[in-house]
Structure 1
Protein backbone atom coordinates (compact mmCIF):
# COMPACT_ATOMS: atom_id res chain seq x y z
CA UNK A 1 0.00 0.00 0.00
CA UNK A 2 1.40 3.39 -0.97
CA UNK A 3 0.66 7.04 -0.39
CA UNK A 4 2.10 10.51 -0.83
CA UNK A 5 4.65 12.33 1.31
CA UNK A 6 4.90 16.10 0.90
CA UNK A 7 7.94 17.94 2.24
CA UNK A 8 7.69 21.73 2.55
CA UNK A 9 10.65 24.07 2.71
CA UNK A 10 13.67 25.47 0.94
CA UNK A 11 16.14 23.78 -1.38
CA UNK A 12 19.34 25.77 -1.86
CA UNK A 13 22.47 25.73 -3.96
CA UNK A 14 25.11 23.94 -1.88
CA UNK A 15 28.83 24.65 -2.25
CA UNK A 16 31.13 22.20 -0.46
CA UNK A 17 34.88 21.74 -0.31
CA UNK A 18 36.35 19.74 -3.21
CA UNK A 19 40.06 20.09 -2.36
CA UNK A 20 42.84 22.25 -3.79
CA UNK A 21 40.79 25.39 -3.30
CA UNK A 22 37.93 24.13 -5.47
CA UNK A 23 34.24 23.96 -4.59
CA UNK A 24 31.65 21.34 -5.52
CA UNK A 25 28.14 22.49 -6.46
CA UNK A 26 25.05 20.62 -5.38
CA UNK A 27 21.50 21.24 -4.22
CA UNK A 28 20.28 20.63 -0.68
CA UNK A 29 18.32 22.01 2.26
CA UNK A 30 16.97 20.39 5.40
CA UNK A 31 13.46 19.50 4.20
CA UNK A 32 14.68 18.59 0.75
CA UNK A 33 17.34 16.33 2.28
CA UNK A 34 14.61 14.54 4.23
CA UNK A 35 12.54 14.16 1.07
CA UNK A 36 15.62 12.76 -0.73
CA UNK A 37 16.25 10.10 1.91
CA UNK A 38 12.56 9.27 2.24
CA UNK A 39 12.42 8.75 -1.54
CA UNK A 40 15.55 6.57 -1.41
CA UNK A 41 14.09 4.41 1.36
CA UNK A 42 10.45 4.14 0.27
CA UNK A 43 8.99 1.68 -2.19
CA UNK A 44 7.78 2.77 -5.61
CA UNK A 45 4.15 2.72 -4.41
CA UNK A 46 4.92 5.86 -2.40
CA UNK A 47 5.15 9.27 -4.06
CA UNK A 48 7.41 11.95 -2.60
CA UNK A 49 6.73 15.56 -3.57
CA UNK A 50 8.59 18.72 -2.69
CA UNK A 51 6.80 22.01 -2.07
CA UNK A 52 8.77 25.22 -2.45
CA UNK A 53 9.26 28.23 -4.70
CA UNK A 54 12.20 28.75 -7.05
CA UNK A 55 13.22 31.39 -9.56
CA UNK A 56 13.17 31.50 -13.33
CA UNK A 57 16.96 31.36 -13.66
CA UNK A 58 19.13 28.51 -15.02
CA UNK A 59 20.14 27.30 -11.53
CA UNK A 60 16.48 26.92 -10.58
CA UNK A 61 15.89 24.89 -13.75
CA UNK A 62 18.89 22.72 -12.94
CA UNK A 63 17.60 22.22 -9.40
CA UNK A 64 14.21 21.05 -10.66
CA UNK A 65 15.85 18.66 -13.10
CA UNK A 66 17.87 17.15 -10.27
CA UNK A 67 14.72 16.67 -8.18
CA UNK A 68 12.91 14.93 -11.03
CA UNK A 69 15.90 12.67 -11.70
CA UNK A 70 15.83 11.66 -8.02
CA UNK A 71 12.19 10.66 -8.35
CA UNK A 72 10.89 13.60 -6.31
CA UNK A 73 7.77 15.28 -7.64
CA UNK A 74 8.01 18.97 -8.57
CA UNK A 75 4.42 19.57 -9.62
CA UNK A 76 3.79 21.80 -6.61
CA UNK A 77 6.95 23.91 -7.01
CA UNK A 78 6.12 27.52 -7.93
CA UNK A 79 8.46 29.50 -10.20
CA UNK A 80 8.73 33.21 -9.45
CA UNK A 81 9.91 35.63 -12.09
CA UNK A 82 13.10 37.48 -11.29
CA UNK A 83 13.99 35.37 -8.23
CA UNK A 84 16.79 32.85 -7.62
CA UNK A 85 17.49 30.07 -5.10
CA UNK A 86 19.39 30.72 -1.90
CA UNK A 87 23.00 29.55 -1.61
CA UNK A 88 25.16 28.23 1.22
CA UNK A 89 28.79 27.22 1.66
CA UNK A 90 29.90 24.37 3.93
CA UNK A 91 33.18 24.74 5.82
CA UNK A 92 34.40 21.56 7.52
CA UNK A 93 36.73 21.05 10.47
CA UNK A 94 37.20 17.53 11.89
CA UNK A 95 33.93 16.42 10.34
CA UNK A 96 31.90 19.21 11.94
CA UNK A 97 30.46 21.82 9.66
CA UNK A 98 29.73 25.51 9.70
CA UNK A 99 27.63 27.33 7.12
CA UNK A 100 27.74 30.66 5.34
CA UNK A 101 24.42 31.68 3.74
CA UNK A 102 23.23 33.93 0.91
CA UNK A 103 19.42 33.72 0.92
CA UNK A 104 17.94 37.19 1.54
CA UNK A 105 16.21 37.35 -1.85
CA UNK A 106 15.54 33.61 -2.25
CA UNK A 107 12.33 32.62 -4.03
CA UNK A 108 11.53 30.09 -1.29
CA UNK A 109 10.58 32.94 1.05
CA UNK A 110 7.38 33.17 -1.02
CA UNK A 111 6.47 29.48 -0.88
CA UNK A 112 3.28 30.05 1.15
CA UNK A 113 2.10 33.20 -0.64
CA UNK A 114 -0.46 31.32 -2.75
CA UNK A 115 -2.82 29.86 -0.13
CA UNK A 116 -4.97 27.95 -2.61
CA UNK A 117 -1.94 26.28 -4.17
CA UNK A 118 -0.66 25.34 -0.71
CA UNK A 119 -4.01 23.86 0.29
CA UNK A 120 -4.25 21.70 -2.82
CA UNK A 121 -0.76 20.30 -2.18
CA UNK A 122 -1.43 19.51 1.48
CA UNK A 123 -4.82 17.97 0.75
CA UNK A 124 -3.23 15.58 -1.78
CA UNK A 125 -0.71 14.26 0.78
CA UNK A 126 -0.90 11.54 3.41
CA UNK A 127 2.20 12.75 5.28
CA UNK A 128 3.31 16.37 5.49
CA UNK A 129 6.80 17.27 6.71
CA UNK A 130 8.19 20.71 7.55
CA UNK A 131 10.80 22.29 9.79
CA UNK A 132 11.73 25.31 11.84
CA UNK A 133 13.76 26.51 8.88
CA UNK A 134 10.61 26.39 6.74
CA UNK A 135 8.97 28.71 9.27
CA UNK A 136 12.08 30.84 9.78
CA UNK A 137 12.35 31.98 6.15
CA UNK A 138 8.72 33.12 5.96
CA UNK A 139 7.09 36.44 6.83
CA UNK A 140 4.73 36.20 9.85
CA UNK A 141 1.58 36.25 7.72
CA UNK A 142 2.95 33.44 5.54
CA UNK A 143 3.80 31.44 8.65
CA UNK A 144 0.17 31.64 9.73
CA UNK A 145 -1.04 30.65 6.24
CA UNK A 146 1.16 27.56 6.35
CA UNK A 147 0.32 26.60 9.93
CA UNK A 148 -3.41 26.96 9.28
CA UNK A 149 -3.17 24.37 6.50
CA UNK A 150 -1.07 22.07 8.65
CA UNK A 151 -3.58 22.30 11.49
CA UNK A 152 -6.31 21.32 9.01
CA UNK A 153 -4.20 18.36 7.89
CA UNK A 154 -3.64 17.25 11.47
CA UNK A 155 -7.36 17.51 12.23
CA UNK A 156 -8.06 15.42 9.12
CA UNK A 157 -5.92 12.59 10.50
CA UNK A 158 -2.84 13.04 8.32
CA UNK A 159 0.65 12.56 9.73
CA UNK A 160 2.12 16.04 10.19
CA UNK A 161 5.81 15.76 11.09
CA UNK A 162 7.92 18.68 12.32
CA UNK A 163 11.64 19.04 13.00
CA UNK A 164 12.17 22.28 14.96
CA UNK A 165 15.71 22.57 13.51
CA UNK A 166 16.33 25.82 15.37
CA UNK A 167 18.58 28.28 13.51
CA UNK A 168 18.64 31.66 15.33
CA UNK A 169 20.14 33.61 12.42
CA UNK A 170 16.86 33.17 10.51
CA UNK A 171 14.77 34.90 13.15
CA UNK A 172 14.37 38.58 14.12
CA UNK A 173 14.50 37.80 17.86
CA UNK A 174 14.53 34.86 20.26
CA UNK A 175 11.03 35.38 21.65
CA UNK A 176 9.39 35.28 18.22
CA UNK A 177 11.54 32.29 17.25
CA UNK A 178 10.52 30.21 20.26
CA UNK A 179 6.84 31.16 19.99
CA UNK A 180 6.78 30.23 16.33
CA UNK A 181 8.58 26.93 16.92
CA UNK A 182 5.97 26.10 19.56
CA UNK A 183 3.19 27.02 17.13
CA UNK A 184 4.77 24.70 14.57
CA UNK A 185 4.81 21.88 17.12
CA UNK A 186 1.13 22.44 17.96
CA UNK A 187 0.29 21.98 14.28
CA UNK A 188 2.05 18.59 14.22
CA UNK A 189 1.35 15.16 15.67
CA UNK A 190 4.97 13.98 15.31
CA UNK A 191 7.92 16.16 16.36
CA UNK A 192 11.56 15.18 15.80
CA UNK A 193 13.73 17.67 17.75
CA UNK A 194 17.49 17.55 18.28
CA UNK A 195 18.37 17.72 21.96
CA UNK A 196 21.32 20.07 21.49
CA UNK A 197 18.97 22.64 19.92
CA UNK A 198 16.35 22.19 22.63
CA UNK A 199 18.76 22.59 25.52
CA UNK A 200 20.49 25.59 23.90
CA UNK A 201 17.30 27.52 23.12
CA UNK A 202 14.58 26.21 25.44
CA UNK A 203 16.90 25.39 28.35
CA UNK A 204 15.96 21.72 28.65
CA UNK A 205 18.21 19.98 31.16
CA UNK A 206 17.36 16.44 30.05
CA UNK A 207 15.78 14.62 27.12
CA UNK A 208 12.78 13.88 29.33
CA UNK A 209 12.25 17.64 29.68
CA UNK A 210 12.08 17.99 25.91
CA UNK A 211 9.60 15.15 25.63
CA UNK A 212 7.40 16.54 28.40
CA UNK A 213 7.41 20.04 26.90
CA UNK A 214 6.29 18.86 23.46
CA UNK A 215 3.64 16.57 24.92
CA UNK A 216 2.48 19.62 26.88
CA UNK A 217 1.99 21.44 23.57
CA UNK A 218 -0.36 18.69 22.42
CA UNK A 219 2.12 16.66 20.37
CA UNK A 220 1.21 12.99 20.56
CA UNK A 221 4.50 11.52 19.30
CA UNK A 222 8.02 12.79 20.02
CA UNK A 223 11.40 11.52 18.80
CA UNK A 224 14.36 13.31 20.41
CA UNK A 225 17.63 12.89 18.49
CA UNK A 226 20.72 13.14 20.67
CA UNK A 227 23.74 12.45 18.46
CA UNK A 228 25.96 9.65 19.74
CA UNK A 229 23.51 9.03 22.59
CA UNK A 230 20.88 7.81 20.12
CA UNK A 231 17.19 8.71 20.05
CA UNK A 232 14.47 8.65 22.69
CA UNK A 233 10.88 8.00 21.57
CA UNK A 234 7.62 8.71 23.34
CA UNK A 235 4.62 7.63 21.27
CA UNK A 236 0.97 7.94 22.24
CA UNK A 237 1.61 8.23 25.95
CA UNK A 238 3.55 4.95 26.17
CA UNK A 239 6.74 4.72 28.21
CA UNK A 240 9.73 6.33 26.51
CA UNK A 241 12.04 4.01 24.57
CA UNK A 242 15.76 4.57 24.00
CA UNK A 243 17.23 3.55 20.63
CA UNK A 244 21.04 3.60 20.39
CA UNK A 245 22.99 5.37 17.68
CA UNK A 246 24.93 3.33 15.14
CA UNK A 247 28.65 3.98 15.21
CA UNK A 248 30.35 4.98 11.99
CA UNK A 249 33.87 3.87 11.13
CA UNK A 250 34.89 7.37 10.05
CA UNK A 251 33.19 10.70 10.69
CA UNK A 252 33.56 12.72 7.48
CA UNK A 253 30.69 15.22 7.39
CA UNK A 254 27.74 15.55 9.77
CA UNK A 255 25.73 17.56 7.23
CA UNK A 256 22.26 16.01 6.88
CA UNK A 257 22.66 13.59 9.79
CA UNK A 258 19.33 14.57 11.31
CA UNK A 259 17.63 15.05 7.94
CA UNK A 260 18.57 11.57 6.76
CA UNK A 261 17.42 10.10 10.08
CA UNK A 262 14.06 11.81 9.63
CA UNK A 263 13.58 10.59 6.06
CA UNK A 264 14.52 7.02 6.89
CA UNK A 265 12.44 7.05 10.08
CA UNK A 266 9.31 8.22 8.26
CA UNK A 267 9.84 5.73 5.44
CA UNK A 268 10.10 2.81 7.86
CA UNK A 269 7.17 3.98 9.98
CA UNK A 270 4.74 4.16 7.06
CA UNK A 271 5.88 0.75 5.84
CA UNK A 272 4.67 -0.78 9.11
CA UNK A 273 7.74 -0.70 11.36
CA UNK A 274 7.28 0.05 15.04
CA UNK A 275 8.57 3.48 16.16
CA UNK A 276 11.62 1.83 17.75
CA UNK A 277 12.34 -0.18 14.59
CA UNK A 278 11.92 2.95 12.49
CA UNK A 279 14.35 4.85 14.73
CA UNK A 280 16.90 2.05 14.50
CA UNK A 281 16.68 2.21 10.72
CA UNK A 282 17.01 5.99 10.82
CA UNK A 283 20.13 5.64 12.94
CA UNK A 284 21.62 3.12 10.52
CA UNK A 285 21.02 5.42 7.53
CA UNK A 286 22.42 8.46 9.35
CA UNK A 287 25.57 6.53 10.30
CA UNK A 288 26.28 5.92 6.61
CA UNK A 289 25.49 9.49 5.56
CA UNK A 290 27.96 11.08 8.00
CA UNK A 291 30.71 8.90 6.56
CA UNK A 292 30.52 10.79 3.23
CA UNK A 293 30.87 14.36 2.06
CA UNK A 294 27.85 16.54 1.39
CA UNK A 295 24.21 16.49 2.38
CA UNK A 296 23.06 13.92 -0.20
CA UNK A 297 24.77 10.62 -0.90
CA UNK A 298 23.92 7.94 -3.46
CA UNK A 299 20.93 5.78 -2.48
CA UNK A 300 23.03 2.75 -3.44
CA UNK A 301 25.15 3.37 -0.34
CA UNK A 302 22.24 3.18 2.09
CA UNK A 303 21.30 0.10 4.13
CA UNK A 304 18.27 -1.83 2.92
Structure 2
Protein backbone atom coordinates (compact mmCIF):
# COMPACT_ATOMS: atom_id res chain seq x y z
CA UNK A 1 0.00 0.00 0.00
CA UNK A 2 1.07 3.63 -0.40
CA UNK A 3 2.10 6.19 2.22
CA UNK A 4 -0.47 8.77 1.10
CA UNK A 5 -4.01 8.48 -0.28
CA UNK A 6 -6.29 11.14 -1.66
CA UNK A 7 -9.76 11.29 -3.18
CA UNK A 8 -11.02 13.80 -5.72
CA UNK A 9 -11.94 14.60 -9.30
CA UNK A 10 -9.03 14.63 -11.73
CA UNK A 11 -9.83 16.42 -14.98
CA UNK A 12 -8.34 17.00 -18.40
CA UNK A 13 -7.17 20.62 -18.48
CA UNK A 14 -7.29 22.51 -21.78
CA UNK A 15 -5.18 25.68 -21.62
CA UNK A 16 -5.51 28.79 -23.79
CA UNK A 17 -2.10 30.19 -22.99
CA UNK A 18 -1.55 32.61 -25.89
CA UNK A 19 -2.64 36.19 -26.52
CA UNK A 20 -5.71 34.82 -28.25
CA UNK A 21 -8.96 34.39 -26.37
CA UNK A 22 -10.14 30.83 -25.88
CA UNK A 23 -12.85 31.49 -28.47
CA UNK A 24 -10.18 32.35 -31.06
CA UNK A 25 -7.67 29.66 -30.23
CA UNK A 26 -7.48 26.67 -32.56
CA UNK A 27 -5.00 24.56 -30.61
CA UNK A 28 -5.20 24.01 -26.86
CA UNK A 29 -2.42 22.34 -24.86
CA UNK A 30 -3.78 19.42 -22.86
CA UNK A 31 -2.67 18.83 -19.28
CA UNK A 32 -4.21 17.47 -16.08
CA UNK A 33 -6.06 19.34 -13.32
CA UNK A 34 -7.90 18.90 -10.05
CA UNK A 35 -6.94 20.03 -6.55
CA UNK A 36 -6.31 16.59 -5.12
CA UNK A 37 -4.59 15.49 -8.33
CA UNK A 38 -2.14 18.38 -7.97
CA UNK A 39 -1.42 17.30 -4.39
CA UNK A 40 -0.80 13.73 -5.52
CA UNK A 41 1.66 14.88 -8.18
CA UNK A 42 3.46 17.07 -5.63
CA UNK A 43 3.76 14.22 -3.14
CA UNK A 44 5.05 11.82 -5.80
CA UNK A 45 7.66 14.25 -7.11
CA UNK A 46 9.03 14.64 -3.61
CA UNK A 47 9.74 10.93 -3.51
CA UNK A 48 6.75 9.50 -1.65
CA UNK A 49 4.14 6.97 -2.73
CA UNK A 50 0.53 8.01 -3.26
CA UNK A 51 -2.76 6.46 -4.40
CA UNK A 52 -5.86 8.08 -5.84
CA UNK A 53 -9.51 7.24 -5.22
CA UNK A 54 -12.15 8.36 -7.73
CA UNK A 55 -14.53 7.37 -10.52
CA UNK A 56 -13.75 8.12 -14.18
CA UNK A 57 -15.79 7.63 -17.31
CA UNK A 58 -15.07 5.00 -19.94
CA UNK A 59 -13.84 7.67 -22.33
CA UNK A 60 -10.64 9.10 -23.78
CA UNK A 61 -10.38 11.64 -20.97
CA UNK A 62 -10.48 8.88 -18.38
CA UNK A 63 -7.92 6.85 -20.32
CA UNK A 64 -5.63 9.89 -20.54
CA UNK A 65 -5.85 10.54 -16.78
CA UNK A 66 -5.15 6.91 -15.84
CA UNK A 67 -2.21 6.77 -18.26
CA UNK A 68 -0.80 10.04 -16.89
CA UNK A 69 -1.13 8.88 -13.29
CA UNK A 70 0.44 5.52 -14.06
CA UNK A 71 3.39 7.15 -15.80
CA UNK A 72 3.77 9.55 -12.84
CA UNK A 73 3.90 6.63 -10.41
CA UNK A 74 0.50 7.25 -8.79
CA UNK A 75 -1.37 4.11 -7.73
CA UNK A 76 -4.66 3.83 -9.67
CA UNK A 77 -5.93 0.60 -8.10
CA UNK A 78 -8.80 2.46 -6.38
CA UNK A 79 -10.10 4.20 -9.50
CA UNK A 80 -13.47 2.98 -10.75
CA UNK A 81 -14.50 3.30 -14.39
CA UNK A 82 -18.10 3.95 -15.35
CA UNK A 83 -19.98 3.93 -18.62
CA UNK A 84 -22.86 5.95 -17.19
CA UNK A 85 -21.19 9.37 -17.05
CA UNK A 86 -18.30 11.26 -18.62
CA UNK A 87 -14.98 12.28 -17.10
CA UNK A 88 -14.90 15.95 -16.13
CA UNK A 89 -12.75 18.53 -17.89
CA UNK A 90 -11.92 22.22 -17.64
CA UNK A 91 -10.78 25.08 -19.84
CA UNK A 92 -8.27 27.52 -18.35
CA UNK A 93 -7.72 30.93 -19.89
CA UNK A 94 -4.46 32.49 -18.73
CA UNK A 95 -4.77 36.22 -17.99
CA UNK A 96 -1.95 38.80 -17.64
CA UNK A 97 -2.43 39.31 -13.89
CA UNK A 98 -1.69 35.66 -13.05
CA UNK A 99 -5.25 34.89 -11.92
CA UNK A 100 -6.74 32.73 -14.72
CA UNK A 101 -10.34 32.24 -15.73
CA UNK A 102 -11.43 28.61 -15.40
CA UNK A 103 -14.50 27.16 -17.09
CA UNK A 104 -15.61 23.75 -15.81
CA UNK A 105 -17.34 20.92 -17.64
CA UNK A 106 -17.99 18.66 -14.67
CA UNK A 107 -21.71 18.73 -13.85
CA UNK A 108 -22.99 15.16 -13.54
CA UNK A 109 -19.48 13.78 -14.11
CA UNK A 110 -18.44 10.25 -13.27
CA UNK A 111 -16.47 11.48 -10.25
CA UNK A 112 -19.52 13.30 -8.86
CA UNK A 113 -21.36 9.96 -8.84
CA UNK A 114 -18.82 8.25 -6.59
CA UNK A 115 -20.60 6.46 -3.75
CA UNK A 116 -19.42 5.47 -0.25
CA UNK A 117 -19.18 1.79 -1.12
CA UNK A 118 -15.97 2.54 -3.05
CA UNK A 119 -14.29 2.62 0.39
CA UNK A 120 -15.20 -1.02 1.05
CA UNK A 121 -12.63 -2.33 -1.44
CA UNK A 122 -9.67 -0.21 -0.30
CA UNK A 123 -6.59 -1.75 1.29
CA UNK A 124 -5.43 0.63 4.04
CA UNK A 125 -2.39 -1.37 5.12
CA UNK A 126 0.68 0.85 5.41
CA UNK A 127 -1.26 4.07 4.86
CA UNK A 128 0.18 6.99 6.84
CA UNK A 129 -1.77 10.02 5.60
CA UNK A 130 -5.16 10.52 3.95
CA UNK A 131 -5.58 13.93 2.32
CA UNK A 132 -9.04 15.30 1.50
CA UNK A 133 -10.31 18.64 0.25
CA UNK A 134 -13.55 20.58 0.23
CA UNK A 135 -13.79 20.42 -3.56
CA UNK A 136 -14.78 16.76 -3.80
CA UNK A 137 -16.94 17.11 -0.70
CA UNK A 138 -18.95 19.83 -2.46
CA UNK A 139 -19.75 17.94 -5.66
CA UNK A 140 -22.78 16.05 -4.33
CA UNK A 141 -24.27 14.59 -1.17
CA UNK A 142 -22.89 11.17 -2.12
CA UNK A 143 -19.31 12.48 -2.52
CA UNK A 144 -19.49 14.16 0.89
CA UNK A 145 -20.70 10.90 2.41
CA UNK A 146 -17.90 9.07 0.60
CA UNK A 147 -15.28 11.37 2.12
CA UNK A 148 -16.79 10.90 5.59
CA UNK A 149 -16.61 7.12 5.28
CA UNK A 150 -13.08 7.25 3.90
CA UNK A 151 -11.91 9.54 6.72
CA UNK A 152 -13.45 7.26 9.34
CA UNK A 153 -11.90 4.16 7.78
CA UNK A 154 -8.45 5.76 7.46
CA UNK A 155 -8.47 6.85 11.10
CA UNK A 156 -9.54 3.37 12.18
CA UNK A 157 -6.42 2.09 10.42
CA UNK A 158 -4.19 4.59 12.24
CA UNK A 159 -3.67 7.10 9.41
CA UNK A 160 -3.33 10.85 9.92
CA UNK A 161 -5.99 12.89 8.07
CA UNK A 162 -5.16 16.24 6.48
CA UNK A 163 -7.89 18.55 5.19
CA UNK A 164 -7.66 21.56 2.87
CA UNK A 165 -11.12 23.21 2.82
CA UNK A 166 -10.48 24.73 -0.64
CA UNK A 167 -14.00 26.25 -0.71
CA UNK A 168 -16.15 26.25 -3.83
CA UNK A 169 -19.23 28.32 -2.80
CA UNK A 170 -20.96 27.90 -6.17
CA UNK A 171 -21.15 24.14 -5.60
CA UNK A 172 -23.12 24.52 -2.35
CA UNK A 173 -26.81 25.47 -1.93
CA UNK A 174 -25.77 28.22 0.51
CA UNK A 175 -22.74 29.59 2.34
CA UNK A 176 -24.26 28.48 5.64
CA UNK A 177 -24.50 24.87 4.46
CA UNK A 178 -20.92 25.01 3.15
CA UNK A 179 -19.63 26.30 6.48
CA UNK A 180 -21.52 23.71 8.53
CA UNK A 181 -20.44 20.81 6.30
CA UNK A 182 -16.82 21.98 6.23
CA UNK A 183 -16.59 22.33 10.01
CA UNK A 184 -18.20 18.94 10.51
CA UNK A 185 -15.51 17.40 8.34
CA UNK A 186 -12.73 19.43 9.98
CA UNK A 187 -13.70 17.99 13.37
CA UNK A 188 -12.92 14.51 12.02
CA UNK A 189 -9.45 15.48 10.79
CA UNK A 190 -6.02 15.84 12.39
CA UNK A 191 -4.53 18.68 10.33
CA UNK A 192 -6.64 21.56 8.97
CA UNK A 193 -5.06 23.80 6.30
CA UNK A 194 -7.18 26.87 5.43
CA UNK A 195 -6.11 30.16 3.96
CA UNK A 196 -6.59 32.99 6.44
CA UNK A 197 -9.68 34.38 4.67
CA UNK A 198 -11.11 30.86 4.48
CA UNK A 199 -10.48 30.25 8.16
CA UNK A 200 -12.15 33.56 8.99
CA UNK A 201 -15.22 32.61 6.97
CA UNK A 202 -15.51 29.10 8.40
CA UNK A 203 -14.84 30.02 12.03
CA UNK A 204 -16.49 33.46 12.16
CA UNK A 205 -13.32 34.82 13.79
CA UNK A 206 -10.88 37.42 12.44
CA UNK A 207 -7.51 37.00 14.13
CA UNK A 208 -5.41 34.05 12.91
CA UNK A 209 -4.82 32.88 16.49
CA UNK A 210 -8.55 32.94 17.21
CA UNK A 211 -9.21 31.00 14.01
CA UNK A 212 -6.66 28.41 15.13
CA UNK A 213 -8.20 28.17 18.61
CA UNK A 214 -11.63 27.54 17.08
CA UNK A 215 -10.32 24.37 15.42
CA UNK A 216 -7.92 23.31 18.18
CA UNK A 217 -10.86 23.44 20.60
CA UNK A 218 -12.70 21.22 18.13
CA UNK A 219 -10.01 18.55 18.52
CA UNK A 220 -7.88 19.27 15.45
CA UNK A 221 -4.23 18.54 16.32
CA UNK A 222 -2.58 21.08 14.02
CA UNK A 223 -3.99 24.13 12.23
CA UNK A 224 -1.84 25.39 9.35
CA UNK A 225 -2.95 28.79 8.08
CA UNK A 226 -1.77 30.15 4.72
CA UNK A 227 -1.14 33.88 5.07
CA UNK A 228 -1.47 34.76 1.39
CA UNK A 229 1.76 35.38 -0.50
CA UNK A 230 3.68 36.39 2.63
CA UNK A 231 3.98 33.01 4.37
CA UNK A 232 2.18 30.66 6.73
CA UNK A 233 1.66 29.77 10.38
CA UNK A 234 1.24 26.49 12.26
CA UNK A 235 -0.66 26.24 15.54
CA UNK A 236 -0.90 23.33 17.98
CA UNK A 237 -1.21 22.75 21.72
CA UNK A 238 1.47 21.44 24.07
CA UNK A 239 0.94 18.91 26.86
CA UNK A 240 -0.30 21.69 29.13
CA UNK A 241 -2.95 22.76 26.64
CA UNK A 242 -1.13 25.98 25.77
CA UNK A 243 -1.19 27.19 22.18
CA UNK A 244 2.14 26.91 20.34
CA UNK A 245 2.68 28.86 17.13
CA UNK A 246 5.30 28.97 14.38
CA UNK A 247 5.32 31.61 11.61
CA UNK A 248 7.55 31.30 8.53
CA UNK A 249 7.89 33.68 5.54
CA UNK A 250 7.45 32.65 1.92
CA UNK A 251 9.78 33.30 -1.01
CA UNK A 252 10.23 36.08 -3.58
CA UNK A 253 9.09 34.86 -7.04
CA UNK A 254 7.55 36.21 -10.24
CA UNK A 255 3.92 35.06 -10.37
CA UNK A 256 2.72 33.53 -13.64
CA UNK A 257 -0.39 31.58 -12.60
CA UNK A 258 -1.84 31.34 -9.08
CA UNK A 259 -3.83 28.14 -9.65
CA UNK A 260 -2.42 25.19 -7.73
CA UNK A 261 -0.46 27.23 -5.19
CA UNK A 262 -2.50 25.92 -2.27
CA UNK A 263 -2.28 22.37 -3.60
CA UNK A 264 1.49 22.67 -3.88
CA UNK A 265 1.58 24.01 -0.34
CA UNK A 266 -0.44 21.00 0.84
CA UNK A 267 1.91 18.53 -0.87
CA UNK A 268 4.86 20.17 0.87
CA UNK A 269 3.14 19.99 4.25
CA UNK A 270 2.13 16.36 3.74
CA UNK A 271 5.61 15.18 2.82
CA UNK A 272 7.05 17.14 5.75
CA UNK A 273 4.59 15.36 8.05
CA UNK A 274 5.67 12.01 6.59
CA UNK A 275 9.28 12.89 7.35
CA UNK A 276 8.44 14.20 10.83
CA UNK A 277 10.03 17.60 10.15
CA UNK A 278 9.74 20.30 12.85
CA UNK A 279 7.15 23.03 12.38
CA UNK A 280 9.51 25.63 10.91
CA UNK A 281 10.90 23.19 8.34
CA UNK A 282 7.40 21.99 7.49
CA UNK A 283 6.22 25.52 6.75
CA UNK A 284 9.42 26.34 4.85
CA UNK A 285 8.88 23.37 2.55
CA UNK A 286 5.17 24.04 2.08
CA UNK A 287 5.82 27.72 1.32
CA UNK A 288 8.54 26.78 -1.16
CA UNK A 289 6.43 24.32 -3.13
CA UNK A 290 3.55 26.82 -3.28
CA UNK A 291 5.92 29.57 -4.46
CA UNK A 292 7.45 27.37 -7.14
CA UNK A 293 4.01 26.37 -8.42
CA UNK A 294 2.92 29.96 -9.13
CA UNK A 295 5.84 30.38 -11.53
CA UNK A 296 4.28 27.84 -13.94
CA UNK A 297 1.23 28.14 -16.19
CA UNK A 298 0.23 24.54 -15.49
CA UNK A 299 -1.74 23.44 -12.42
CA UNK A 300 0.88 20.80 -11.57
CA UNK A 301 3.63 20.63 -14.19
CA UNK A 302 5.77 23.09 -12.23
CA UNK A 303 5.71 21.11 -9.00
CA UNK A 304 9.31 20.39 -8.01
CA UNK A 305 11.36 17.28 -7.52
CA UNK A 306 13.23 16.95 -4.22
CA UNK A 307 16.44 18.23 -5.80
CA UNK A 308 14.72 21.25 -7.36
CA UNK A 309 13.00 22.02 -4.07
CA UNK A 310 16.21 21.92 -2.06
CA UNK A 311 17.97 24.19 -4.56
CA UNK A 312 15.08 26.67 -4.50
CA UNK A 313 15.05 26.84 -0.70
CA UNK A 314 18.82 27.36 -0.58
CA UNK A 315 18.97 30.06 -3.23
CA UNK A 316 15.73 32.09 -3.14
CA UNK A 317 15.28 35.23 -1.01
CA UNK A 318 12.58 35.31 1.66
CA UNK A 319 9.79 37.76 2.29
CA UNK A 320 8.76 39.24 5.62
CA UNK A 321 5.74 37.93 7.50
CA UNK A 322 3.90 38.57 10.75
CA UNK A 323 0.57 37.70 12.28
Q: TM-score, normalised by structure 2?
A: 0.85
Q: Would you say 1:288 and 2:292 are equivalent positions?
A: yes
Residues in 2 aligned to 1:12 and 1:121: alpha-carbon distance in whole angstroms? 22
How much has 1:24 moved relative to structure 2? 2.1
Q: Would you say 1:303 and 2:306 are equivalent positions?
A: no
- Of the three residues 40, 44, 54, the one matched with 2:45 is 40
- Of the three residues 274, 284, 296, the one matched with 1:270 is 274
Residues in 1 aligned to 2:128 and 2:266: alpha-carbon distance in whole angstroms? 16
Distance change (3 Å), C-alpha of 1:122 and 1:30? farther
Query: In 2, are the aligned partners of 1:168 and 1:174 still within 8 Å (CA)?
Result: yes
1:53 alignment partner in structure 2: 55
SS of equivalent residue, structure 1 residue 281: helix
Query: In 2, are the aligned partners of 1:54 and 1:77 still within 8 Å (CA)?
Result: yes
How much has 1:149 moved relative to structure 2? 3.3
Query: In 1, are the aligned partners of 2:119 and 2:149 still within 8 Å (CA)?
Result: no
Q: TM-score, normalised by structure 1?
A: 0.90
Gaps of 5+ in 2: 311-323
After TM superposition, list the pairs within 5 Å mapping 1:82-93 onto structure 2: 82-91=84-93, 92-93=95-96
Name which one, 1 or 2, has greater alpha-carbon Rg.
Answer: 2
SS of equivalent residue, structure 1 residue 291: coil
After TM superposition, list the pairs within 5 Å mapping 1:139-150 onto structure 2: 139=141, 141-150=142-151
1:133 alignment partner in structure 2: 135
1:73 alignment partner in structure 2: 75
After TM superposition, list the pairs within 5 Å mapping 1:184-263 onto structure 2: 184-200=185-201, 202-237=203-238, 238-248=243-253, 250-263=254-267
How much has 1:104 moved relative to structure 2? 0.7
Query: In 2, are the aligned partners of 1:151 and 1:188 still within 8 Å (CA)?
Result: no
Between the two proteins, the alignment pairs up a number of residues equal to 296
How much has 1:119 moved relative to structure 2? 3.7
Residues in 2 aligned to 1:16 and 1:181: alpha-carbon distance in whole angstroms? 30
2:103 alignment partner in structure 1: 100
Residues in 2 aligned to 1:82 and 1:302: alpha-carbon distance in whole angstroms? 42
